[in-house]
Structure 1
Amino acid sequence: MIALLVVLGAIIAYTLFNYFTQKKIVKTLTQDEFISGYRKSQLIDVREPKEYEGGHILGARNIPLSQLKMRMKEIRPDKPVYLYCQSGARSGRAARTLYRKGYRDLSHLQGGFKKWSGKIKHKN
């Protein structure tokens, strides 16, 4: 029983640590805030290609989280980076990865693409 409580406590501590670390390194933006700034930034969709092809924010580049470490050179560290995924979890992880490599102006879309009601482009 004590071992179970220790494991549960460790999971809760890890979750809280990640939550507060993420809040410090990436700005979570509402859709209106996101719209007002994403045209002046590097807009990155970190979902997988099939998700991206099903519909994405107009002007977004697809760099899936699974390929981010290999494709980081495609993202300039001196310009703002706006990230989004389906719900916000993967874009948060992408922001942590970028932050560790020296990127500092990081934002992501609150609620992700599933909450987006702006312009969408579909791949044919």
Structure 2
Amino acid sequence: MVLAVSSGLMMLNIVILVLLIVWVGVWGLGAWRRRHYATVLSQEEFQAGLRRAQVIDLRPKDQFDRGHILGARSVPYALLRQQGVDLRADMPIYLYDEGMTVSTQAAVYLNKHGFKQLYILKDGYVRWEGKTKKAKYID
């Protein structure tokens, strides 16, 4: 009985260890991809360059409509992948989503399509403290 409980705990520890290793690996790969394909900007840096860049909100349209960074253009990531979008390669592209995961995927995609001036908002829209625009709903 004691041996069965002990081996059960050992298996649980192994499973937890494997999950932890996988999680750290996925997190590390995401961080590497961000550094390799784009530059991560603080809120202050992002705000400083807003007027000289193409600001792309990668969140779904309904989230964009609820509120977005002032001056941003809604280009949901799925739409970007399916149809492409008219972006200028000679201007910086500022990307953001709720966090940084979708922005990282978009940076990889855009880089592979010839765009090199790619920037990601650190911590995404969820932590944004700058100016926003919210939709006006009419009942």
2:30–2:101: 8 Å Cα contact kept in structure 1? no
Give 2:41's aligned amino acid: L
Residue 26 in structure 1 maps to residue 31 in structure 2: no
2:134 maps to 122
- In 1: Cα distance, 2:76 partner to 2:87 partner: 13
Residue 47 in structure 1 maps to residue 89 in structure 2: no
Shift of the 71–40 alpha-carbon distance from structure 1 to 2, 3 Å rule, reads: farther
Query: Alpha carbon RMSD of aligned pairs, Å?
Result: 2.2
Give 1:118's aligned amino acid: G
2:99 maps to 87
1:63–1:71: 8 Å Cα contact kept in structure 2? no
- In 2: Cα distance, 1:86 partner to 1:14 partner: 18
Residue 75 in structure 1 maps to residue 57 in structure 2: no
2:124 maps to 112
Q: Percent of aligned pairs with the same residue?
A: 34
Give 2:93's aligned amino acid: V
SS at structure 2 position matched to 1:118: coil
Shift of the 15–110 alpha-carbon distance from structure 1 to 2, 3 Å rule, reads: closer
Residue 99 in structure 1 maps to residue 103 in structure 2: no
Q: 13, 21, 37: which one pairs with 2:49? A: 37
- In 2: Cα distance, 1:18 partner to 1:76 partner: 26
Give 1:66's aligned amino acid: A
- What are structure 1's unaligned runs of at least 5 residues? none
Shift of the 11–73 alpha-carbon distance from structure 1 to 2, 3 Å rule, reads: same
- In 2: Cα distance, 1:21 partner to 1:90 partner: 12
Displacement of 1:26? 0.7
* Greater Cα shift, 57-66 or 12-21: 12-21
- What are structure 2's unaligned runs of at least 5 residues? 1-13
